[in-house]
A and B are shown apart, each in its own frame.
Chain A
């Protein structure tokens, strides 16, 4: 039936190497939590997280477990449940490097890679301390003289190439196309990543391209290097359109992670039971 070989979650985890740039989806676009826990259990080191454009419990867990050396993001937060405690502490004591950014810049840097151009311009941002501290960004005068504003300075952002992207989705079809619904930022992430792996709730014996609606909302298999079935793979995060976030569990985490000891106890329980 299938025109691709299904991987085990372990095989996907093994594709992630120490020191790589890992693409991280936002809490609304299919967080691969089961994969993340396995990655932590494996003892991955020195990850550079590239968040599009933010991360919640996934980033906080990886940071708290000592797996991360660098993170580029517009925000790290537990949303309604407050600050991301392991992230905040790691930044305050200088144990990770944060490349502070802003959402549209994180999108634009990947869009540059999508188009295989070296940079992308973006308006706004100039005059912020974000821009002042980003030595990898630069400002030029608009060479097109097209804006009507005389000598308009414009910000240029470098193309960013991700090494690997892993996300969770509701389903794949028999040809390895992935249903992502309206979460098109997953396509942006995938286009800008050397390798892409997806955990899914199920694989359907169908072809998304046979129907205009399902064709328009899928990420073509040509971008995908491997798929593994992982039930409830986003838990406790939501899988949009399939299941809601387990807010009780996220709250439990937010309280436990306030201290290092509480975090360690929580992780021991959730990784080894």
Chain B
């Protein structure tokens, strides 16, 4: 039988089971890393934040079983660390999508292959839409779970998701037309 994430986390913290930690890490690392990478936009910083998230999971046994899942817990930490990072370094949260769109069209969109283009498109989304899109697609969370995470309504989250997808779609079709 496969252990739940919660189970693995408790095994590590309560019984010192390193193997359980390895499993948990394997389950989370890819999606969590990409979530942070897209939120922050550069890999050196993303690695730093990724490491901070794991350091806090390793050091403190803070998770309590409650209404939110373990996954929600992990991504909440990741999101907070990413926001801290923005703030500490006084990098403005990407909020003006138009500026971003322009930059992409000039530099990276043209001639870039589609795989790169679509990840760039996601990175260029306004932070709130990007977060929802990534939580849904990378972390595979439901809109309800995402809503619960930020204490917001499902409708608000759904509408952000709709905007995100519409924007990406627009960029992707433009790319197709250009091609």
Partners in one complex: no
Chain B interfacial positions (CB closer than 8 Å to A)? none
